[in-house]
Amino acid sequence: MSRALGWLWLSGYVGTIVVANWLIERFGDVPVFIGLTAPAGVYAAGLAFTFRDLTHEAFGRRGALGAIAAGGVLSWLVSDGVTLPGGVVSLAVASSTAFLLSELADLAVYSRFRARYQIGALLASNVVGIWIDSALFLLLAFGSLDLLIGQVVGKWWVTLVAVALLWPVRARLLPAERAR
């Protein structure tokens, strides 16, 4: 994978963190499926896991860990001082805590399976990351798991679309990578 493409993935990763926090503060809850709602940041947060996996491919495990650390700090800075109604802690603490722990779990699963099953590793790691991120964030930011299913469904919509779009891109890039 080219470094330029790696920087694109990393930029997307960082961008999702900023956008997710901004969407939550700006729009509150949004519909994700019939009868299900979730905090508006769900759509951007759903992309973070896929972009983290792609950043791992471009820059390796250390690069992914650096991106996770930077993302946690950025999440803290973007939401500093905001506490949502019912929240146990500020949005910054909820977001950065859920982000860091879920991304580390995502990284552990992805690292284990990526060599043999890249798309499968991406999906499996996203399952783990989505559930951990959703449960932790909702408990900390809202003091409730009422929106958990909506949060998970919203992130899965984004993950499935991202994987569907990335599969042909990966297939095109793979022959070029093998030639190196």
Question: What are the distances in angstroms from CA 49 to CA 81, 87, 145, 158, 162?
Answer: 25, 24, 21, 10, 10
Strand 36-39 to 29-33 pairing: antiparallel
pLDDT at 1: 54
Write out pLDDT tens, residues 115-160.
788 778 878 888 898 999 999 989 998 899 999 999 999 998 888 8
Asked whether residue 75 carries a pLDDT value surpassing 80, the answer given is: no
**Taking the model in full, what pTM does it have?**
0.78
Domains belonging to the chain, first-starting first, are: 3-170 (1.10.1760)
Write out pLDDT tens, residues 10-49.
888 888 888 887 888 789 889 999 999 998 988 888 888 7
What is the Cα–Cα distance from 13 to 144, expressed in whole angstroms? 27
The H or E element spanning position 38 is strand 36-39
